[in-house]
Structure 1
Amino acid sequence: MTAARARIPGPLLGIVSAFALFSIIPAPVLPTIDRRIATRAIRSFPWMGLLLGMVAGLIAGAVLAADAGSWLAGVLALAWLAASTGGFHLDGVADTADGLGSRAGAQRALQIMKQSDIGPMGVISLLMVLLVDLGALTSLTGTAAGQGAGAWWRVGLLILIGPSVGRASILLATLPQVPCARPGGFGSLVAGVTRPGAASVNLGCLGLVWAAIGWLVAGWTGTLLVVISAGLALGWAMGWTRHLVRRLGGMTGDCFGSLNETTQCVLWVLLAIGAALLW
């Protein structure tokens, strides 16, 4: 155990922590699980999303390159993203929907969210998010398929942005001014860990990477599409965070999961619509 811990280099501790805390992908044993580790994990969270997205993009691109159909490409990309996280964030979508859908007060809603079962609102919301995700990815892959056999890599690049933007929303939701609704829960471990300066630098670097990906896809047109879509998706994230804070008194682990998944969903929808209009 000690040897495994010692092998984690300092610069890699953040990304290792992100994979260890928020995925089922095997990672070295963490030295501890405390606020310091949580801070590093959240800072690396969008970059972890970029890595997961690369695999999803490669899967979708490979299916398109094999001419196996846009629908299968979208399904397999989503299956990878859900499997790699053990459905962790999707569970947050369902639990948050159950709590909000109960129309009960904040404390009762939080109790409902903590229960292990999923109610009708949770099932409906989970299905809707997945269906919209699938529709957006199918649209993206279908648009690329119409551009000829060599366009598969464009879709792969656009798909990989989604998990990164979704997780970037967590940077904004873990700023010090965003309260925690349930002290002692998993959400309290990461609540308020992101300093404004660190969030600005991180988002700035991510924005450059997203813009570069857009450039590779379609030059300045692709850059504008990606940057505007990411900005609008993060705008949604800020609005959803404010609503959750007003409704529940703060954020929980389930809230972070719903924020991640819905922001990713919004980003893919915007990219799909924009790509269809531009291509």
Structure 2
Amino acid sequence: MTRPPWTDGLRLALTTFTVAPVAGPQRLDRPVAGWSMRLAPAVGALLGLLLGGVLTLLAAGLPALVAAALTVGLAALLSRGLHLDGLADTVDALGSYRSRERALEIMKSPEVGPFGVVALVLVLLLQTATLAQLSTRPPLALLACLAAAVAGGRLAITAACRRGIPAARPGGMGALVAGTVGPAAVVLGAVLVAALALPAVPHRPWQGPLTILIALSAVAALRTHLVRRLGGVTGDVLGFLSEISTTLITVGLVLF
């Protein structure tokens, strides 16, 4: 009997966004890809809870900065570094100031240029520094911070795959998932992430959802620019938006 598309979508989401030892989907088409993108924030929330638990344990016996650095490294490992790769490739393409076609070629190149290196260093430093600050919070608040940040990063991908946003090129991951998500899924994902963020700042419960709103608004502006610049989204663009969203959320939870 053929499985419903959401089950294969869940498998695709797990194998795309994590290193979970799960068998891949039996079918791979746009309906399955759409379910994968809808479920991305939920998978991100589970990954964030795992990372929050690890950070809590590490911070109990190690200096905060060391615990944070190890957690950031684990996050990259558990996601195969795909989003970091997309971050570097997208920044290299934007920094080239070349034509749309040449920018897309740069994104496909396996090499990382100076713009990409600087972006990677800056994002990883920001994530490490903010996690070091967040590691001093009570366990429940820390879990909420990590769950909301990682889920928010995946929600940026969901939102970039909504209907009306085209793929930048005919092939690749971007073409498979672009335009597969309806607006209701984006709204439900935002509600989920905002709810996760409520316990992040115990004495100011409104701060977590407000941080999510600000971060996602900034990422939406970046997405609009990228779609205008490149003609649509690619797999690298989705990774870039995810890393930027996660970073902005962790920074916001520290600053505001």
Global fold match (TM > 0.5): yes
How far off is 1:46 after superposition? 0.5
Q: Is the counterpart of residue 183 in structure 1 residue 170 in structure 2?
A: yes
Residue number in structure 1 paired with 2:91: 97
Task: Provide the identity percentage.
Answer: 33
Mapping for residues 1-279 of structure 1, pairs under 5 Å: 12-66=7-61, 68-141=62-135, 143-144=136-137, 151-211=138-198, 213-214=199-200, 218=202, 221=204, 223-274=205-256
> Gapped runs of 5+ residues in structure 1?
145-150, 275-279
Distance change (3 Å), C-alpha of 1:120 and 1:69? same
How far does residue 34 in structure 1 lie from its aligned partner after superposition?
1.1
Contact map agreement 2:144 2:196 (CA 8 A) in 1: no
Gaps of 5+ in 2: none
Q: CA deviation at 1:42?
A: 0.5
Taking structure 1 as the reference length, the TM-score comes to 0.86
Secondary structure at the counterpart of residue 218 of structure 1: coil
> What amino acid maps onto 1:37 in structure 2?
V
SS in 1 for 2:206: helix
- Measure, in 1, the Cα distance between the counterparts of 2:218 and 2:229: 16
Give the whole-Å Cα distance in 1 for the aligned partners of 2:242 and 2:216: 10
Kindly tell me: are residues 10 and 181 of structure 1, through their superposed partners in 2, closer, same or farther at Cα, counting changes over 3 Å?
closer
Write 1 or 2 for the structure with the bigger share of helix.
1
Q: Once the 2 structures are TM-superposed, how far is the Cα of residue 137 of structure 1 from its aligned partner?
A: 1.1
Cα offset, 1:107, TM superposition:
0.7
Work out the CA distance in 1 between the residues paired with 2:67 and 2:252.
19
Point out the structure with max Rg over C-alpha: 1
Distance 2:225 2:20 in 1: 32
Distance in 2 between residues matched to 1:194 and 1:82, nearest whole Å = 26
What's the CA shift string for 1:26-67, capped at 9, x where partnerless? Answer: 11231111111111110110111101101110011112223x
Could you tell me how far apart the structure 1 residues matched to 2:229 and 2:18 are? 28
Distance 1:121 1:71 in 2: 26
Q: State how many pairs are aligned.
A: 256
Structure 2 equivalent of residue 148 of structure 1? none
Contact 1:15 1:47 in 2 (8 A): no
Q: Report deviation, 1:20.
A: 1.6
Aligned CA RMSD, in angstroms, stands at 1.9
Measured in 2, the distance between the counterparts of 1:208 and 1:187 equals 29
Q: Which AA in structure 1 matches 2:101? A: Q
User: How far does residue 183 in structure 1 lie from its aligned partner after superposition?
Assistant: 1.1
Distance 2:52 2:145 in 1: 8
Once the two structures are superposed, residues 224-253 of structure 1 have per-residue CA deviations (whole angstroms, 9 ceiling, x without a partner) of: 111000001110110110110121111111
Identify the residue that residue 277 of structure 1 maps to in structure 2.
none
